Structure 1
Amino acid sequence: MAGDTQDPAPNPHATAEQVQAAWDDPKLANVLYHDWEAGTYDEKWSISYDQRCIDYATDRFRLVAGDRDWPYEHALELGSGTGFFLLNLMQGGVIKKGSVTDLSPGMVQVALRNAENLGLDVDGRVADAERIPYEDNTFDLVVGHAVLHHIPDVEAAMREVLRVLKPGGRFVFAGEPTKVGDFYARKLGQVTWWLTTNLTKVPLLNSWRRPQEELDESSRAAALEAVVDLHTFDPAALEATARAAGAQQVRAVTEELSAALFGWPVRTFEAAVPREKLGFGWAMFAYKTWQRLSWVDEKLLTGVIPRELFYNVLVTGTK
């Protein structure tokens, strides 16, 4: 099935008519939104392909799946974006050969460019997660990061994942928002955005205000994000969805509570002020603080506080 058709070209500048139509079509919204974001996505989310993000990706994988069976010979990333999860797992020794898929042609293009720059053995396709364009029993591993909440029919996508996995193969999905976590993250983001954009109207702080056209563009992006983010998850319900699709040995874990309470206001503040105002010192402060709070969450809060209260849910299972 792979290679049967030519993939569509990226469309980073959608027309007003296309954007209007996207409000009633979540798949079109995902294509338009992520094609628009593809060129700046790594910068926006502080994504890199160095030891910092290699450690982050492999730690997430190990948290839910353990470190048995490494390395996997051939892995597919579903909804790859710019390739963050797969490429860093490959660099971390989890995966030998990779394939990236995404509904957004722009994201696939950037992911393949990132892989080439890193010298990694990766191919890619533009693909709908509910109809994965690969043959049955192709992959040893399927991974995804922050992708399930964009897919209209998660159970259908899970069935497709199991179809393309080899018998005994594993899937690992990380970075999905819990119902409770999404609620407090959005509220914190809204409050931070309001405070920052209003305080920087004060003349003394005006140099910290992003130009109005950039603020307007960010507001439009935030509005479209409401269309592309389709789900939040209860960990037990996500496990049930995977089992209903036919998965075995299903397990969901959660992470980030204090780290999320810190991280979401920080990310929102960074989006509301000029980038040149925030240098390397700020970046290290934000990262180190998030890292320490993640340690608190993992070592002190996990198992004490109900898993439903954490921000991220990760799920794994086998065929």
Structure 2
Amino acid sequence: MTVKAHFDILIIGGGPIGISCAIEAQKAGLSYIIIEKGCLVNSLYNYPANMTFFSTSEKLEIGGVPFVSNNIKPTRAEALEYYRRVTDKFDLNLHLFELVESIQKLKGHYEVRTAKTSYTSDNIIISTGFYDLPNLMNIPGEDLPKVNHYYKDPHFYAKQKVLIVGANNSSVDAALETYRKGADVTMVIRNGQIGERVKYWVRPDIVNRIQEGSIKAYFNSNLSGIRQHEVDIESPEGTITIPNDFVLAMTGYQPDFSFLEKIGVNLSKDYLRLPEHNPETMETNLKGLYLAGVVCGGMNTHKWFIENSRDHGERIVGHIVKGESNR
């Protein structure tokens, strides 16, 4: 495999934060490329079709490009359109549907091998998010085709018995939308209430639907087994078996820790598995290798989002430029 090109910065991940890093590199006159294993802003594309962001549109802006939406809180479709426009405006150098397979540190630079070719770069920015690897329940039957860790559209579940695991935004949205399309919805919730982070304009809706019995909910409970036509729930009253057609396990997601470890990024030994990095420069324990966006938070995937990490690119590129000037 021959090396295709050399860059000052190679960015892994074509989400909003990866795009913002590329814009900063372009502004600084540095050569760069974005490598993305899926489509543009792949994680946002995989969000539920009818999702509305918690953030207002101006907090999702990058590159100084205004984000105009029909309502204060934009939809998934509006966000996809916005980030396409931003990419076109800056004519960003990006390769989509190209999986990064390995990163190797060589003398003074990195070699990045992908499924298509290889590159060398002085600096690497990893902005891969966390949406690709679901947190598994590790229970019998989780691998059945009827089980999905991603939710897209409610129509598919019309007239079906649907069990939803979880009590945060993704779970609540799936429960309300499938219920309103005619599904028989049951929720299994590990704690004693709906999650505190649920969008404030949605929370009363799900609470009322549960209280009136339109949506059944088992609190302080866990799903313990899945079979083709039924599921087992461990509740305070003991094991309950109910009929079931589909399971939506909205159990959250996590960064690809094995990829980070393979590269040589140090991770904390506790549950959070925080990647080692300087919060001012975003540089990891590996010189010239940086983190940006959600991946910085390890298992604490609620710490970083677009609105509070869109300045990571400025920090990183500023540090790179300063390092170049000091050589």
Higher CA-based Rg: 2
TM over 0.5: no
More helix by share: 1
More strand by share: 2
After TM superposition, the score normalised by the length of structure 1 is 0.30
